[in-house]
Amino acid sequence: MALYRLTVKTNSRNEMIDITSEIEKYLKENGFKDGILTVFVPHTTAAVTINENADPSVKRDILFHLAKLIPLNADFKHLEGNSDSHIKTTLVSPSISIIVENGNLVLGTWQSVFFCEFDGPRMRKVYLKFIKG
């Protein structure tokens, strides 16, 4: 199956954007039924995760506490000034795998897929690869 590129426009230095509907659209448009979907972010300062979508304060809490754990202005040596973004990406992860059954993502009731921006705003890429089961 072909590699698909999704484009995500971010508006803040740190934010979480729900990309679940874009992923579901990709599955339906291509008629993918049963298998595994890999979601991969090819950036060193952005990530992807699965988490709660019902209460927006969950996203706020995640971003707030990541910022407390890894502050922007710590004693980093990286010249670009975005070491906090690299560390956050390492902790969250640049990729996830999701089971697809009957054309649907197998997610919990409150779960969604989030693109995590840690060095925005920017135009970003997310790669989707479906592996038939």
Residue 90 sits in a domain whose CATH number is: 2.60.120.460
pLDDT the model gives residue 127 = 98
Q: What is the pLDDT of residue 1?
A: 62
In this prediction, what percent of the chain has a pLDDT beyond 70? Answer: 99
Question: How do residues 55-78 score in pLDDT, each as one tens digit?
Answer: 999 999 999 999 999 988 888 888
Domain that holds residue 77: 4-132
- Which is more confident, 72 or 44? 44
Beta strands in the chain (DSSP E): 4-9, 15-18, 35-40, 46-52, 95-101, 104-105, 111-117, 123-132
Q: How many folded domains does the chain comprise? A: 1
The two structure tokens encoding residue 15: 């934010």
**What token pair was written down for 7?**
């484009």
Mean pLDDT of 21-49: 97
Q: Which of 47, 36, 62 is nearest to 114 (CA)?
A: 47
The answer on pLDDT for 95 being more than 90 is yes
State the average pLDDT over residues 86-91.
96
Q: 37 falls in which pLDDT band (50, 70, 90)?
A: very high
The residues near 7 (Cβ < 8 Å, ≥ 6 apart) are 123, 124, 125, 126
pLDDT of residue 78: 86
pLDDT of residue 81: 79
The confidence score (pLDDT) of residue 66 equals 97
**Tell me, what's the pLDDT at 76?**
82
